[in-house]
Structure 1
Amino acid sequence: MRYFILGATQARDERGLAVPLGGARLRALLAALALRPGRTVPVADLVADVWADDPPQDSPAALQALVGRLRRALGRDAVVSAPGGYRLAAGREDVDLYGFERLADEGAAQLAAGDAEGAARTLREALGLWRGPALADLPDRSGGDHGVRPEARRFAALRQRIEADLRRGSADSALAELTALTAEHPYDEPLHAQLIRALRDAGRRADALAAYERLRRTLADDLGTDPGPEPAALHAALLAEPPPSRAPAPDADPQGQARGNIRPRLTSFVGRERDIADLRADLARSRLVTLTGPGGSGKTRLAEEAAPPGAWLVELAPLDDPSAVPGAVLSALGLRETQLAAREDRAPVRRDATARLVEHLGRRRMLLVLDNCEHVVGAAAELAEVL
């Protein structure tokens, strides 16, 4: 029999089939016993774990009745009576919590030995055993007390898995997760240090400096402290680095200068770092990304902030004719007066706007932002699909 307490309490037989357990008290009793596999748990401790602050009047008799029900569910030999208490006939290897701890220790050792690939695999396997909060079926007080250590181990393993990913060069894939985690844990300096490193390793030096500044302000405003040695050292190293030279954008003029028509804003943009990180991650995976939301929610500014150098913004708000959408894109790209022509008899033949766009853009890799599409959405969608 295998027992699972990292989430809702479960028991599974040798075929991997779940054993029906019945009510909440029965699951709480099994969780309390599985927490100490092979050990005799005193009656008083089991009563406290199962009923917390509301024990029955004759709690030893109530516990004995509950043990009888658990034996009927698991088999009479699964729970052993012992002087002063009861014992689950199982070893640590039969309980998912201790399988997690074994794998977490193994992954930590691999990381310490410099095996980032192995550590990432092992720690992912360890974290994959979690299906919810530890000891979720124990009452709030006792469940919280017993769950503190497993949850702390889980968080440590998560940090180590992210560390393994960063060491094996997966900074880009870690960014969205780290952005969410640092928002959830604003005072966790090791996590913030990992976010700063991930941004630095992804070539986003300015964002890494901004991430440090957010941490510094949060700690100063809320706790009256400064960042510790690790984030401070990262910040100093970033300041010491010369700004990276930008490679020419995929759409560049003959002199190699990045083109595009999105001008830098004079005002700062704060509070939507996670949205920017998510949007950039989507752009790295998908050729078409759509931002939706009510008017005034900041879609245009978000698109501008997330866009790389060389991106082009096409403003569709002034249009009242959907058929004018391709022409508006041509104008935004500065191609309205340019004839991209097929030549027959050496004479230029004017092409329609969509065909000219396909010919021009087909040779380039660029980001095109179609803004304010609502009133011409059909034509904008058709053009986006063609491109």
Structure 2
Amino acid sequence: MRYQVLGTTQATRPDGTPVPVGGARLRALLTLLALRAGRAVPSAVLVDEVWAGEPPADATGALQALVGRLRRTLGADAVTSAEGGYRLAADPDDVDLHRFDRLAADGLRALDGGDPAKAAHALDEALALWRGPALADLPDPGACAARWEARRLEVRRARLTAALALGEAAAALPDLTALCEAHPLDEPLQALRLRALAATGRPAEALAAYGDLRRHLADTLGTDPGPVLRAVHADLLRGDADPHGAGPHGAVTPPVPRSGAR
């Protein structure tokens, strides 16, 4: 069985046939178990998160009933009792979130190792797993979902870095522009856009964009551009904004959970 939590929670059989998982609480339970695929999740954690901090009077009985429904949906052996809780009988790679994290790590290593083509392949595979907001069926996705969304942004930034290194600045520019509009304070991302503009024969536009960024940072944060942006600006003034020197792919991304962590 395969499980998807990068979007609405879904389950599919090995042949690709979808398994309907009906009911918001049932999908929330499956999401929580999939996050720690192959590991026990304490009953108290499941109750607290499935019922969003407002458990029913008979929380133990309600959870047992919900687990029973999930077993009838997925198969009797899909969820086992373990160590004061329940465990999804699956390998981490059976869950799209953990598969994404593995492919992302492979791609980032390849990019750091100077192989943008290999990086692009792994990062494309990783990003293709996303179908919507992470952990969409949790009642309160909170900080956990935010960390995975930050990881996704890091991977998108890295993929665009690979594109510039491969001489694909023109193709990358529309995505870069849209991402920069959505994340105006992400300086490494903004630096990539400036380099892409220069690489597509628009250095004057890149210099104007740098000026806009400098004013925006001053007005919003009261700060000057950081070292990544300043380095790009210096290169632009010299006429040497090499897209291969695109800078760090994840300099402002916070730590993210490893497979199975929340």
Alignment TM-score, normalising by the size of structure 1:
0.61
The correspondence for 2:160, drawn from 159, 162, 167, is 162
Letter in 2 for 1:19: V
Identity among equivalent pairs (%): 61
Deviation at 1:72, TM superposition (A): 0.4
Who is 1:180 aligned against? 178
**Cα distance in 1 between the residues matched to 2:145 and 2:31:** 11
In the TM superposition, residue 105 of structure 1 has moved relative to its aligned partner by 0.8
Aligned 1:363-382 pairs, distance under 5 A: none
Q: How much does 1:118 deviate?
A: 1.6
Give 1:93's aligned residue: 93
1:272 aligned partner? none
Cα separation, 1, equivalents of 2:211 and 2:188:
15
Runs (5+) with no aligned partner, structure 2 = 241-262
TM-score by length of 2: 0.89
Amino acid at match of 1:150: W
Cα shift at 1:117: 1.4
- Normalized per residue, the structure richer in helix is 2
Deviations 1:64-115 (A, max 9, x none): 1000000000111111012311111111111111111111111111111211
Q: Relative to structure 1, is the Cα distance of residues 110 and 83 closer, same or farther in structure 2, using a 3 angstrom cutoff?
A: closer
Aligned equivalents of 2:149 and 2:239: distance in 1?
38
Which residues of 2 match residues 62-77 of structure 1 at below 5 A? 62-77=62-77
Aligned length: 240
Amino acid at match of 1:229: P
| Kept after mapping to 2: 8 A contact 1:195/1:211 | no
CA distance in 2 between partners of 1:42 and 1:80 (Å): 12
Q: Cα distance, 1:240 vs. partner?
A: 2.6
Q: Can you list the C-alpha shifts for 1:194-217, whole angstroms capped at 9, x where unaligned? A: 000000111101110011111101
Q: CA deviation at 1:56?
A: 1.4
Q: How many angstroms apart in 2 are the aligned matches of 1:169 and 1:8?
A: 36
- Name the amino acid aligned to 2:148: P
1:334 alignment partner in structure 2: none
Q: What is the deviation of 1:221?
A: 0.6
Q: How does 1:7-46 map to 2 (within 5 A)?
A: 7-46=7-46
How many angstroms apart in 1 are the aligned matches of 2:122 and 2:42?
Answer: 36
Aligned to 1:108: 108
Query: Is the 1:172–1:202 Cα contact (8 Å) retained in structure 2?
Result: yes
Shift of 1:151: 1.5
Provide the C-alpha distance between the structure 1 equivalents of 2:204 and 2:146, rounded to a whole number of angstroms. 37
Out of 219, 222, 225, the residue aligned to residue 220 of structure 2 is 222
The one of the two structures with greater contact order (alpha-carbon pairs below 8 A, sep at least 6) is: 2
Matching residue's letter, 1:197 = R
Judge conservation of contact 1:192–1:211 (CA < 8 Å) in 2.
Answer: no
Q: Secondary structure at the match of 1:16?
A: coil
Name the SS of the counterpart of 1:86 in structure 2.
strand
Query: What letter matches 1:126 in structure 2?
Result: A
**What amino acid maps onto 1:187 in structure 2?**
L
Structure 1 spans left out of the alignment, 5+ residues:
243-387
1:189 to 187, 190, 193: 187
| Cα separation, 1, equivalents of 2:83 and 2:164 | 52
Residue equivalent to 2:199: 201
